[in-house]
Amino acid sequence: MNRARRLARLLNVLAAIIAEPGLNPLELAERAGVSERTLRRDLNQLRELGYEVAYTSGYEVQEKLNFEGRSPARAPKRAYEQQLELLQAVAQAVGGAGLGGDGTLPKAVRARGRTSRSKPTHVKSRPIVLIPSSDADADFIYATGFAVETGLYIRFSDGDDMLITSPLEIERARIQSRASKVLEDRDAYVHRAWARLAARILRERGIDEARVSPRMHAVQLEDLRASGIAAEVDRELFLAERRRKSPAEAEAIQASQRAAEAAVVEVVRQLAGASINDGVLWAEGRPLTSERLYARAQLLLGEMGFTCPDMIIAGSPDNALPHFRGQGPIRAGAPVIIDIFPVGRSSHYHGDLTRTVVVGEIPDEFRRMHAATLQALDAAIESIRAGVPAKEVHIAVCQVLVDRGYSTTSAGFEGADGVPKMNHSTGHGVGLDVHEEPQLRETTLAPLVEGDVVTVEPGLYKLGLGGVRVEDTGMVTANGFHNFTTITRSLDPRDYL
């Protein structure tokens, strides 16, 4: 494609954003008449030309732009409409000369451009200031590629950012971080004055406002504001970017999932090798407990370079509480829920895997619960693909469970009274956090996007009886669900060995 045609396409994309701020990637690609892959390339080119295209809850562009990519000190009252008309005129002229299609903008963009009621949304182009809440702060790690307990990161724009650390961390930061500048500040470290340091750096550039992560501690936010910086908590900071996993991120999650599978198999091996004494599992001359199983799983994960301090290895009947971690001896003839979600100690990415097994004779009631859960899991996986509203995946699960005689807490799928029930969402995104966007629940109207990595984890629970849950993790693609999980879903421990 020659330069003129590429210009026409870029103008169409830019006009679509100005005419209808807040479009998501699928919507913007449709309005501009390009593929999502082409759109990503075009947006990068627009940014290189100086146009501050940003994505928070949707794509937006600064309203005070001109064709040199700079923002004038004061824009006329109707600058937005004038800019849109100019973009339309140039695109039509280039297109009319046979260089860019039919010489018109997409229909939806033309319609929005004809009304003066459309008001541009202010682009959040203010610097990003991050002060980690801990060495597991996912926003800080995503921005810098560096996990640290204390420090400061400021991003003024792409390629213009800085990471400031203590003398203790400076050499590691230089090796591991992606920041264009890595600096050391002993005073900020000693006096815990990262927010005041950030304010000073911003003021030196003539800046008095910034965006911060929702993870920032309140004391840091107060210090920023007390130092004269109008700090806004950006609730959607990095949400869209973190959802679309790169190939490297996907591989890191798959590695964590393989570690989870190994740990689950180790736990099941211990269960399968136990003897039954008066209804309780025994091993090495004493009761087999959740604590002992936890220790074996954590040891294996540690040897592989992973950890999972909050894993669930919970016997019945207490595992009717979905987040009960497990405690005490394991009973025979009743479900054991094993939920392991390791994080890579170097990659910082999680996996997430749940299996349920029964040692000894398997009661029919638990067989039926497990079979219904597996059917719901398969129905959910079959419904997953890019563009499908996340709520539809959850509804598919609820429909199966109700049809099988069980109940849920979702409106319209309450089912019968007194039967085992699913009282949680179907799944969630996985990445630097074990729970992140998107959420597979009845209230999530937004579509799944290609590159989402999500769990699918239906379950059934009844107080006094116990619970069953089975969970796979995989990636959303245009054609369906790429399952990262490979081990059996069987209720019988022997099938894992």
What tokens were used for 20?
């209808």
What are the structural domains, with CATH classification, of the chain? 3-113 (1.10.10), 128-237 (3.40.350.10), 243-496 (3.90.230.10)
Q: Tell me how crowded residue 401 is: count the other CB atoms within 10 A of its CB.
A: 27
What digits encode the pLDDT tens for the residues 253-288? 999 999 999 999 999 999 999 999 999 999 999 999
Sign of the C-alpha dihedral computed for residues 209, 211, 214 and 215 taken in this order: negative
Specify burial of residue 104 (Cβ count, 10 A radius: 0-12, 13-18, 19+): middle
DSSP class of residue 331?
B
What tokens were used for 392?
């539809």
Three-state secondary structure readout of 409-456? CCCCCCCCCCCCEECCCCEEECCCCCCEEEEECCCCCCECCCCCEEEE
pLDDT band at 91 (very low <50, low <70, confident <90, very high): low
Q: Percentage of the chain with pLDDT > 90? A: 75
Specify the pLDDT at position 62: 54
For 10-21, what is the mean pLDDT? 78
Mean pLDDT, the chain, integer: 88
pLDDT band at 241 (very low <50, low <70, confident <90, very high): very high
Q: Which of 106-120, 302-316, 318-332 has the lowest mean pLDDT?
A: 106-120
Specify the pLDDT at position 242: 96
Q: How far apart are alpha carbons 19 and 5 in whole angstroms?
A: 21
Q: How far apart are alpha carbons 324 and 138 in whole angstroms?
A: 25
Whether the per-residue pLDDT at 23 is higher than 90: the answer is no
Q: How far apart are alpha carbons 235 and 250 in whole angstroms?
A: 24
What b/e sequence results for 366-388 when a residue is b if at least 16 CB atoms lie within 10 Å of its CB, and e otherwise?
Answer: bebbbebbbbbbbbbbebbbbee
pLDDT band at 339 (very low <50, low <70, confident <90, very high): very high
Specify burial of residue 10 (Cβ count, 10 A radius: 0-12, 13-18, 19+): buried
The strand pairing partners of 312, in sequence order, are 339
Whether the per-residue pLDDT at 111 is higher than 90: the answer is no
Whether the per-residue pLDDT at 132 is higher than 50: the answer is yes
Q: 31 near 130, Cβ under 8 Å?
A: no
What digits encode the pLDDT tens for the residues 450-461? 999 999 999 999
Q: How far apart are alpha carbons 101 and 170 in whole angstroms?
A: 53
Packing angle between helix 3-19 and helix 25-32, nearest 10 degrees?
130
What digits encode the pLDDT tens for the residues 221-230? 999 999 999 9
264 closest CA partner among 114, 480, 452, 489:
489
Q: How far apart are alpha carbons 191 and 327 in whole angstroms?
A: 42
Q: How far apart are alpha carbons 176 and 467 in whole angstroms?
A: 43
- What pairing do the DSSP bridges indicate for beta strands 160-165 and 181-184? parallel
Beta strands in 48-151 (DSSP E): 53-55, 59-61, 128-130
For 349-357, what is the mean pLDDT? 98
Specify the pLDDT at position 287: 98
Q: How far apart are alpha carbons 185 and 153 in whole angstroms?
A: 12
Q: How far apart are alpha carbons 264 and 87 in whole angstroms?
A: 58
What b/e sequence results for 68-87 when a residue is b if at least 16 CB atoms lie within 10 Å of its CB, and e otherwise?
Answer: eeebeeebeeebbbebbeeb
Residue 277 CA neighbour count, 13 Å, CB half: 11
pLDDT band at 86 (very low <50, low <70, confident <90, very high): low
pLDDT band at 30 (very low <50, low <70, confident <90, very high): confident
Whether the per-residue pLDDT at 74 is higher than 60: the answer is no
Whether the per-residue pLDDT at 63 is higher than 70: the answer is no
Q: 346 near 327, Cβ under 8 Å?
A: no
pLDDT band at 118 (very low <50, low <70, confident <90, very high): very low
DSSP class of residue 319?
G
DSSP string, 472-496: EEEEEETTEEEE---S---SSGGGG
Q: How far apart are alpha carbons 432 and 253 in whole angstroms?
A: 9
What tokens were used for 180?
């264009």
Whether the per-residue pLDDT at 120 is higher than 60: the answer is no
Three-state secondary structure readout of 30-78? HHHCCCHHHHHHHHHHHHHCCCCEEECCCEEECCCCCCCCCCCCCCCCC
Kindly state the greatest CA–CA separation across the chain. Answer: 87
How far does Cα 261 stand from its chain's mean position? 21
Q: 299 near 355, Cβ under 8 Å?
A: no
How far does Cα 66 stand from its chain's mean position? 35
Residue 374 CA neighbour count, 13 Å, CB half: 12
pLDDT band at 58 (very low <50, low <70, confident <90, very high): low
Specify the pLDDT at position 22: 73
Tell me which residue has tokens 């937005």. 80
For 147-167, what is the mean pLDDT? 97
pLDDT band at 70 (very low <50, low <70, confident <90, very high): very low
DSSP class of residue 164?
E
DSSP string, 197-250: HHHHHHHHTT--EEEE-TTS-HHHHHHHHHTT-EEEE-TTTTHHHHHS--HHHH
Whether the per-residue pLDDT at 233 is higher than 70: the answer is yes
255 closest CA partner among 19, 430, 97, 426:
430
- The residues, any chain, with a CB within 8 Å of residue 182's CB and separated by 6 or more, are 162, 163, 164, 165, 170, 173, 174
Specify the pLDDT at position 13: 81
